Amino acid sequence: MPTRKPEIVTFKVDRPLLAALNGVANRSEFIRAAVLSALDSTCPVCKGTGKLTMNQKSHWNAFAADHNVEECGECHELQLVCAHKRRRSPHSRKAR
């Protein structure tokens, strides 16, 4: 199977960002890593828009009927908690 060439993506930056990127040894690798990291941390429902469509909101409401948003007692970040399952902390040694 032939391998595909990587696609080239360009984007505009302002002068301060360009100056900051000029100090990076391998800008392409740095930008790829930053984009992948951002995509890995994007909300799986809204895909990073910060807004839900009417249908997504309906699905969220059905999900939220059995789930709560609560603060973690250890790291104080917000987390989703299922009302029907025993909680296991991601901070415990077993979860790592």
The pLDDT score that the predictor gives to residue 94 is 53
Report the half-sphere exposure of 48 (CA within 13 A, side-chain side). Answer: 7
The pLDDT score that the predictor gives to residue 96 is 46
Write the CA distances from 14 to 18, 21, 29, 38, integer angstroms: 6, 11, 20, 20
What does the pLDDT profile of the chain (96 residues) look like in tens digits? 678 888 999 999 999 999 999 999 999 999 999 999 988 889 888 988 999 999 999 999 999 999 999 999 899 999 999 988 777 777 876 544
The pLDDT score that the predictor gives to residue 92 is 72
